[in-house]
Amino acid sequence: AKDPVRVLVTGAAGQIGYALVPMIARGVMLGADQPVILHMLDIPPAAEALNGVKMELVDAAFPLLKGVVATTDAVEACTGVNIAVMVGGFPRKEGMERKDVMSKNVSIYKSQASALEKHAAANCKVLVVANPANTNALILKEFAPSIPEKNITCLTRLDHNRALGQISERLNVQVSDVKNVIIWGNHSSTQYPDVTHATVSTPAGEKPVRELIADDQWLNTEFIATVQQRGAAIIKARKLSSALSAASSACDHIRDWVLGTPEGTWVSMGVYSDGSYNVPSGLIYSFPVTCKNGEWCIVQGLSIDEFSRNKLDLTAKELSEEKDLAYSCLS
């Protein structure tokens, strides 16, 4: 039998945490043959609720779950973890300035970066979910210099999956037959959901989405806006933000990273930019990636037309501004 993998979930008493931990304990993230030990971190006001989640994990009697650590101590939570899913953060409340929210999250991610750097297992893989996800990941990277930068990522897979979902609904095809959409940039409303290279598997072979949906107008406006605004639409409908879809997409992100993407398929991940596609280096930016042997690699050589170029640049500009704002909170 395999040795258990230790998976940290921060903010585990929150709504995404509540949806995510049972998925991990059932093998959705790492496979049906991979035992796991869950480490759950939250803050003292949520300690009792966190303990309730732990009780439910015990009650669910998951065969793969070999242990649960539930704590409000970041060092205890981070010790020995192989995978860290950072869901905890400070939410934007009505009337709060952007800078105030940023400042709270910068200080959280700075201190959790140190805890991970000192106490996580070597080669720990980190996924930041909490918003502002790209910039929180960047802060974590800055303050955990001994964690390889390739190991620090943020979640844009939910946006990627939303784009697949919209295309499948529009064409009335199975979502599993749609692939290779791309989310570029920030996990925010400036993200660019790009279908230029996306395809659908049909009985007559693989067809480009742009051939099957001849309506460029829809693809270039409504489709993009729907994916960009989907989070807000969920809040409007549910009076709560996305949780099950966020949790499921976080599992997809880690699973593909660890176990690999299928041949010919790429996914979107927020990763440390190396200047690919003329995106400024030094940002955590969402790119199309393939994964193999536990490492992601940016898909190279895709054509970028002028329409796309403007959108890639716009979301990069927003990320540069967020980066400046985050740094101004440090001083």
Window of 6-14, 137-145, 271-279, 313-321 that interacts with ligand NAX by CB under 6 A: 6-14
3-state secondary structure of 327: helix
User: Within 13 A of 81's CA, how many CA atoms are on the CB side?
Assistant: 32
User: Quick one: CA torsion of 257, 205, 193, 323, rounded to 10 degrees?
Assistant: 30
User: In terms of CB distance, is 34 or 153 closer to ligand NAX?
Assistant: 153
* Residue 132, preceding peptide bond in cis (omega within 30° of 0): yes
Cβ-based neighbours of 129, under 8 Å, separated by 6 or more: 16, 85, 86, 87, 154, 155, 246, 250
User: In terms of CB distance, is 19 or 200 closer to ligand NAX?
Assistant: 19
26 a known binding residue? no
11 a known binding residue? yes
Exactly one of 7, 14, 261, 266 binds ligand NAX (CB under 6 A); that residue is 14
Q: Total binding residues for ligand NAX by CB under 6 A?
A: 29
Question: CA 313, CA 277: separation in Å to the nearest integer?
Answer: 10
In the annotation, is 119 catalytic? no
- For the CB of residue 7, give the shortest distance to ligand NAX in the complex, in Å: 15
Please report, as residue ranges, which positions from 34 to 73 form the binding site for ligand NAX (by CB under 6 A): 41-43, 46
User: In terms of CB distance, is 35 or 187 closer to ligand NAX?
Assistant: 187
Tokens 């860290």 -> residue:
84
User: In terms of CB distance, is 4 or 52 closer to ligand NAX?
Assistant: 52
Window of 12-20, 162-170, 284-292, 294-302 that interacts with ligand NAX by CB under 6 A: 12-20
17 a known binding residue? yes
User: In terms of CB distance, is 88 or 288 closer to ligand NAX?
Assistant: 88
Nearest CA among 159, 169, 171, 286 for reference residue 229:
159
Per DSSP (E only), the strands in 143-246 are 152-154, 178-179, 182-184, 192-194, 199-202, 205-208
User: If binding is defined by CB under 6 A, does position 13 make contact with ligand NAX?
Assistant: yes
98 a known binding residue? yes
162 a known binding residue? yes
> If phi over 0 gives left and psi between -120 and 50 gives alpha, with beta otherwise, what is residue 42?
beta
Catalytic: which of 39, 187, 197, 253? Answer: 187
92 a known binding residue? yes
Question: CA 26, CA 115: separation in Å to the nearest integer?
Answer: 27
Report how far apart the first and last C-alpha atoms of the chain are (Å, whole number).
49
Question: CA 171, CA 321: separation in Å to the nearest integer?
Answer: 37
Q: Do 86 and 127 form a contact (C-beta atoms < 8 A)?
A: yes
Exactly one of 34, 191, 242, 268 binds ligand NAX (CB under 6 A); that residue is 242
Strand partners, 40: 9, 70
User: If binding is defined by CB under 6 A, does position 30 make contact with ligand NAX?
Assistant: no
Gyration radius (Cα) of the chain, Å:
19
Exactly one of 7, 8, 16, 64 binds ligand NAX (CB under 6 A); that residue is 16
Window of 163-171, 237-245, 257-265, 309-317 that interacts with ligand NAX by CB under 6 A: 237-245
Known catalytic residues? 187
> Binding site residues for NAD(+), as ranges?
11-17, 42, 105, 129-131
Residues that bind ligand NAX (CB under 6 A): 10-11, 13-17, 41-43, 46, 87-91, 108, 129-131, 133, 155, 158, 187, 231, 241-243, 246
> Binding site residues, as ranges?
11-17, 42, 92, 98, 105, 129-131, 162
